[in-house]
Amino acid sequence: PTPETPKEEKKEEDNSPPPPLQIDLEGIQHRIEPFPLKEANYTQIWAIPGKVLLSHRPILGSLDQSWYNGSEPPAHATLEVFDLQTQKTKTFPFTITHFKATKDGKKLIYQAGYKLRVVDAEPAENDSPTQEPGPESGFLDLNRLKVEVIPEVEWQQMFEEIWRLQLHHFWVEDMSGVDWHQVKKRYRPLLPRVASRSEFSDLIWEMQGELGTSHAYELGGDYRKGPQYKQGFLGAEFRFDPDKQTYRIEKILQGDPWQEDYASPLQRIGVNAKPGDYLIAINGQPLHKDFSPAQALVHQANQEVELTLEQNGQQRTVPVKTTGSEFPIRYRDWVENNRNYVLQKTKNRVGYLHIPDMGPRGYAEFHRYYLAELEKDALIVDVRYNRGGHVSQLLLEKLARKRLGFDLPRWGQPEPYPADSVLGPLVAITNEYAGSDGDIFSHCFKLMKLGKLVGKRTWGGVIGIWPRHKLVDGSITTQPEFSFWFVDVGWKVENHGADPDVEVEITPQDWAQYKDPQLDAAIEILLKELEENPPQLPKFDNKPNLALPFS
């Protein structure tokens, strides 16, 4: 008879909880060991058996970053694994956005933009040459995921989540005295009547508006995409000439020629267009009263087009690449026109700079002009239309520097101490479109007594946000979480704004005549201050004589 094979005894799983982790906190600050890694901007650290996974990102500019545009997340991070036994680091042959490891530490999943991939937790010698989804590459086929979306059901869940996020994150627990539960009871019954995504947004705006507080946003979402007509622009202003029956170039906007999207296409080398020239045709299509340059450039954004220009009776055809937006070009043209106007009116005695926001763009704009203008006798700081941000304190700190001395070399100019300190008086211009950190800058400019504030009362919204909550359809909702209090007015900048020292209105008639009485008022104030107290550099005489007394 065949002997019976002995059965393996199954070991019972030990489901008892692990012993509690005891941490000896006494003297822990003296038991720190440096991790033997190169210096970097580490963003994730994940321990696995015998190793540590780490990711670090390069330091990149943030001018083009935005928290609300919903663009694909960048995959700039480098992923590495550090072996605790060999004390060596290996680098994975790809860059990532984020990663997570499995519980046993053998596999990891990483995100790169909108792609997901599963790989071994050890860098492969030869990475998969293909990004096609499948077991070989490890990329997940997200197109296989099918989800039934019932908007009405989504909106119910989103409504509850938006309401709950405000309840738990609003900056003060009592919701500034608003009965938030009663607000929900008032607006929740309206949900069944919502028939479109835009109507849902309107309902949320109305509900959050009950808080009477700034920065309670709801942005984006799963809107049905409509037709898009990508308009091309030439960075110029045209006027129809009835005698020539075509369009005359009235003005070419002056942008930054070293940046493609910040300069008029007509400024490009070889185009040689000038105000007064005629634009006869675009891509061979003649222009006339009923067919303007704007009509000819529909669907031509960022495209190469052929322009037929007439100059001094001679026609020629030149290729140019259009731009998809004139905003940055018109902005630079406006700033430079203001700056040149100030220089002309003050005979080069007063400088000018504009701060469009209090984020990366505004920080860059401030330093672009400040470093060139601070040596003028006085300076105008224009924060009209400032969209807010978070860098106002950095700019105010620099504007508040007072010259205490100078550093004199034998060769070169005296350097002020502190560096980059202003020589003479300051004036700031603000208006009703300056808000958030633009409110804060305007109010603190007065509070710090840096100079007169000219213009109109600001927007009045100084309760900050931390946008990090996406809803199920991709939209973003924000909760006013950080409320500003000031030593002079307490909470009262919110819902009121910063009051100017000198109020100046720009009337519709001023706009029509291209007049800027707010800028004129700032110039007048500074010229008067310069007349009464002109700033002067010291004579730097009485230099030390260090000769020996008996030499």
Q: Is the pLDDT of residue 5 over 80?
A: no
Residues 356 and 303 in one domain: no
Q: Kind of pairing, strands 378-382 and 426-430?
A: parallel
Residues 299 and 444 in one domain: no
Give the HSE-up count for residue 463: Cα atoms under 13 Å, Cβ half-sphere: 24
Residue 306 included in any domain = yes
Q: Mind listing the pLDDT tens digit for each residue in 246-257?
A: 999 999 999 999
Three-state SS annotation for 146-193: CCCCCHHHHHHHHHHHHHHHHHHHCCCCCHHHCCHHHHHHHHHHHHHH
Average pLDDT taken over every residue of the chain: 93
Residue 470 included in any domain = no
CATH of the domain at 176: 3.30.750.44
Q: Is the pLDDT of residue 12 over 80?
A: no
Q: Mind listing the pLDDT tens digit for each residue in 37-59?
A: 999 999 999 999 999 999 999 99
Q: Mind listing the pLDDT tens digit for each residue in 120-129?
A: 999 988 887 7
Query: Any residues with CB less than 8 A from the CB of 81 and at least 6 apart, and which?
Result: 51, 52, 53, 54, 89, 90, 92, 121, 122, 123
Residue 472 included in any domain = no
Residue 479 included in any domain = no
Residues 193 and 95 in one domain: no
The answer to whether the beta carbons of residues 270 and 319 sit under 8 Å apart is no
Residues 85 and 47 in one domain: yes
Q: How far is CA 533 from CA 79, 369, 410, 423, 530, in A?
A: 60, 24, 30, 12, 5
Asked which of 94, 117, 144 is the last residue of a domain, the reply is: 144
Asked which of 192, 219, 246 is the last residue of a domain, the reply is: 219
Q: Mind listing the pLDDT tens digit for each residue in 78-121?
A: 999 999 999 999 999 999 999 999 999 999 999 999 999 999 99
Residues 412 and 528 in one domain: yes
The closest of 193, 176, 328, 315 to 263, measured between CA atoms, is 328
62-76, 133-147, 210-224, 278-292: segment of lowest average pLDDT: 62-76
Residue 334 included in any domain = no
Query: Any residues with CB less than 8 A from the CB of 437 and at least 6 apart, and which?
Result: 357, 358, 386, 388, 389, 390, 391, 392
- Per-residue pLDDT at 551: 62
Q: Helix (H, G, I), strand (E, B), or coil: what is residue 311?
A: strand
What's the domain range around 300?
Answer: 236-325
Residues 521 and 384 in one domain: yes
- Per-residue pLDDT at 228: 84
Residues 385 and 457 in one domain: yes
- Per-residue pLDDT at 399: 97
Q: Which residue, chain included where needed, has tokens 């101490």?
A: 417
Q: Mind listing the pLDDT tens digit for each residue in 163-185?
A: 999 999 999 999 999 999 999 99
Residues 291 and 162 in one domain: no
d(CA 301, CA 235): 12
Residues 383 and 506 in one domain: yes
Residue 475 included in any domain = no
Query: What is the pLDDT confidence band of residue 520, given thresholds at 50, 70 and 90?
Result: very high
- Per-residue pLDDT at 3: 58
Strand partners, 80: 54, 91
Query: What is the pLDDT confidence band of residue 68, given thresholds at 50, 70 and 90?
Result: low
Q: How far is CA 20 from CA 16, 17, 23, 103, 112, in A?
A: 12, 8, 10, 19, 37
70-84, 155-169, 188-202: segment of lowest average pLDDT: 70-84
d(CA 65, CA 402): 34
CATH of the domain at 448: 3.90.226.10
**Rounded mean pLDDT, 334-355:** 98
Instruction: Tell me how many domains the chain contains.
Output: 4
Q: How many CB atoms lie within 10 A of CB 56?
A: 18
Q: Helix (H, G, I), strand (E, B), or coil: what is residue 98?
A: strand
% residues pLDDT > 70 (the chain): 97
Residues 270 and 390 in one domain: no
- Per-residue pLDDT at 8: 60
Q: What are the two backbone dihedrals, phi and then psi, of residue 305, each rounded to the nearest 5 degrees?
A: -130, 160
Strands (DSSP E) along 312-447, which ranges? 314-321, 350-354, 378-382, 405-407, 415-417, 426-430
**Residue 87 Rama label (left phi>0; alpha psi -120 to 50; beta):** left
Q: Which residue, chain included where needed, has tokens 């309760």?
A: 463
Higher-scoring residue by pLDDT: 375, 491: 491
Peptide bond into 480 cis (omega under 30): no
**Rounded mean pLDDT, 510-515:** 95
Q: Is the pLDDT of residue 449 over 80?
A: yes
Q: Is the pLDDT of residue 1 over 80?
A: no
Active-site residue numbers? 215, 436, 494
Residues 362 and 425 in one domain: yes
Residue 4 included in any domain = no
- Per-residue pLDDT at 227: 83
Q: Is the pLDDT of residue 371 over 80?
A: yes
Query: What is the pLDDT confidence band of residue 261, given thresholds at 50, 70 and 90?
Result: confident
d(CA 98, CA 73): 10
Asked which of 110, 144, 178 is the last residue of a domain, the reply is: 144
Q: Mind listing the pLDDT tens digit for each residue in 395-432?
A: 999 999 999 999 999 999 899 999 999 999 999 999 99
**Rounded mean pLDDT, 296-323:** 95
Residue 476 included in any domain = no
CATH of the domain at 321: 2.30.42.10
Residues 435 and 355 in one domain: yes
